[in-house]
């Protein structure tokens, strides 16, 4: 701030236009320097909103017009040169340059018609070109990221991040993006700590957690270790939290259907029995990165352990039974598994699911 002592009111009022003029000259010089430095988009970003609002200073309009045409010409020539190479790695840049051209075109769309006519503005139809370029850019970025991630090298995983970030900027809705981000997180980590936790009211036995975390040799990547919620993560560690949110155990159920069969005047009453019991685990596998312990991904899961046993009994003359009924008479009722044994069976299935997810 500049301190000006003892200015009289009239002198102060005379100073205001001078200050404004100085500010305007400084702004003009700054914009001219940006233009000379070929920072055309910055010139457009600064001046276009004012022109849209009706500030039609001829010098500003000429500067925007020159910036607009030069920037578009530069992008057009670069796009043609990139296409001529025939290289797949050219498409991300081609797409971004199409985006830049569209952005400039949209920024000037609100200019008064007289101004647009004077600067030879034409509304560009880039939709088809952009869609084709984006599809090819996405295809290249996905393939390149997967190629790097599949080597198993931490250095390659870190390099893959740059391609994944490009893919995110190109299309945040790309179906491959979540899986690539997850693979990058796991491959780049020094350690991947796998932890089991429970939000359901039913307490889980240690044997349940042990079953979820029991990975066979070579079943998961070498940097995967099992841990507890209290294990401290390092800066380059990742955590996979297997969070159980709901445990459903149905009561033991016996379903029965009774019917009669006849054969030459002989009658038999047949009863088909079905023993049923089910355990369902619902929850989420959450992926955390680094010391922030911020969940980066969450994948819901549902696994089931089902017990079912069919057997048949009869009352009456066995000779009245059909061949199908006779074949079922060898089956017998069996003890229904306990809740604990079925929970362990579900835990083993959850273990398989987690192992597959960690090795994708």
Give a yes or no: residue 110 inside a domain: yes
**207 and 180, same domain (yes or no):** no
Q: What is the pLDDT of residues 238-287, one digit of tens each?
A: 999 999 999 999 999 999 999 999 999 999 999 999 999 999 999 999 99
pLDDT of 27: 52
Whether 20 maps to a domain, the answer reads no
Is residue 347 assigned to a domain?
yes
Q: Supply the pLDDT for residue 3.
A: 36
Q: Is the pTM of this model over 0.75?
A: no
Distance CA 292, CA 340 (A): 36
Q: What is the structure's pLDDT at 334?
A: 96
User: Which of these three, 186, 215, 236, is where a domain ends?
Assistant: 186
User: 198-245, pLDDT tens digit by residue?
Assistant: 988 888 888 999 999 999 988 998 899 998 777 777 888 999 999 999
Return phi, psi of residue 117, to 5°.
-65, -40
Note the pLDDT of residue 2: 35
Q: Which residues pair with 195 in a beta bridge?
A: 241
- Give the model's pLDDT for residue 112: 93
- The domain in which residue 62 lies consists of 40-186
CATH number at residue 220: 3.30.160
Q: Is residue 305 part of a domain?
A: yes
Could you give the 3-state DSSP secondary structure of residue 135? Answer: helix
Given this model, what pLDDT does residue 337 score?
A: 96
Same domain, 214 and 253: yes
Catalogue the E-assigned strands of 68-126. none
Q: Is residue 4 part of a domain?
A: no
Q: Is residue 325 part of a domain?
A: yes
Own/partner pairs, 353-357, CB within 8 angstroms, 24+ separation: 353/301, 353/303, 354/194, 354/212, 354/240, 354/242, 354/285, 355/215, 355/219, 355/220, 357/285, 357/299
Q: What pLDDT is stored for residue 260 in this prediction?
A: 96
Q: Same structural domain for residues 164 and 198?
A: no
- Same domain (yes/no): 346, 220: yes
**Domain end among 125, 154, 186:** 186
Looking at the structure, do residues 325 and 235 belong to the same domain, yes or no? yes
Considering the domain architecture, whether residues 136 and 249 belong to the same structural domain is answered as no
The pLDDT score that the predictor gives to residue 56 is: 74
In contact, 242 and 196? CB cutoff 8 Å: yes
Do 208 and 177 belong to one domain?
no
Domain termination site, one of 186, 216, 240: 186
Q: Quote the radius of gyration of the chain (alpha carbons, Å).
A: 36
The span from the CA of 189 to the CA of 175, in Å, is 23
Split into its structural domains, the chain has a count of 2
pLDDT in tens, the chain (360 residues): 333 344 344 443 444 444 333 444 445 678 889 999 999 999 999 999 999 998 778 899 999 999 999 999 999 999 999 999 999 999 999 999 999 999 999 999 999 999 999 999 999 999 999 999 999 999 999 999 999 999 989 999 999 999 999 999 999 999 999 999 999 999 999 999 999 999 888 888 889 999 999 999 889 988 999 987 777 778 889 999 999 999 999 999 999 999 999 999 999 999 999 999 999 999 999 998 865 567 788 899 999 999 999 999 999 999 999 999 999 999 999 999 999 999 999 999 999 999 999 987
């Amino acid at each position: 701030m500049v301190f000006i002592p003892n200015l009289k009111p009239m002198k102060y009022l005379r100073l205001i236009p001078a200050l404004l003029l100085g500010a305007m000259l400084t702004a003009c010089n700054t914009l001219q320097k940006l233009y000379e430095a070929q920072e055309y988009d910055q010139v457009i970003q600064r001046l276009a909103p004012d022109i849209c609002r009706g500030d039609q200073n001829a010098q500003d309009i000429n500067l925007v017009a020159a910036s607009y045409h030069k920037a578009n010409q530069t992008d057009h020539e670069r796009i043609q040169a990139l296409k001529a190479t025939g290289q797949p790695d050219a498409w991300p840049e081609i797409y971004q340059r199409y985006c830049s051209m569209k952005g400039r075109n949209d920024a000037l769309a609100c200019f008064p018609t007289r101004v647009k006519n004077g600067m030879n503005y034409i509304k560009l139809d880039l939709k088809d070109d952009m869609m084709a370029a984006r599809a090819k850019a996405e295809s290249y970025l996905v393939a390149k990221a997967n190629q790097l991630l599949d080597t198993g090298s931490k250095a390659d995983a870190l390099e893959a991040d740059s391609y994944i970030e490009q893919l995110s900027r190109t299309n945040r809705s790309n179906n491959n993006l979540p899986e690539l981000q997850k693979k990058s997180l796991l491959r780049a980590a020094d350690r991947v700590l796998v932890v089991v936790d429970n939000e359901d009211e039913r307490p889980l036995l240690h044997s349940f957690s042990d079953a979820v975390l029991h990975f066979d040799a070579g079943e998961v990547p070498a940097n995967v270790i099992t841990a507890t919620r209290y294990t401290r993560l390092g800066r380059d560690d990742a955590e996979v939290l297997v969070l159980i949110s709901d445990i459903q155990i149905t009561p033991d159920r016996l379903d029965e259907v009774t019917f009669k069969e006849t054969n030459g005047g002989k009658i038999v009453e047949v009863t088909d029995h079905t023993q049923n019991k089910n355990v369902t685990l619902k929850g989420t596998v959450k992926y955390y990165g680094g010391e922030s312990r911020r969940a980066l991904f969450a994948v819901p899961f549902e696994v089931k352990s089902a017990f079912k046993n069919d057997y048949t009994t009869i009352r009456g003359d066995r000779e009245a039974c059909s061949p199908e009924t006779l074949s079922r008479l060898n089956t017998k009722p069996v003890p229904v598994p306990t809740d604990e044994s079925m929970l362990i069976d579900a835990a083993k299935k959850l273990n398989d699911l987690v192992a597959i997810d960690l090795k994708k």
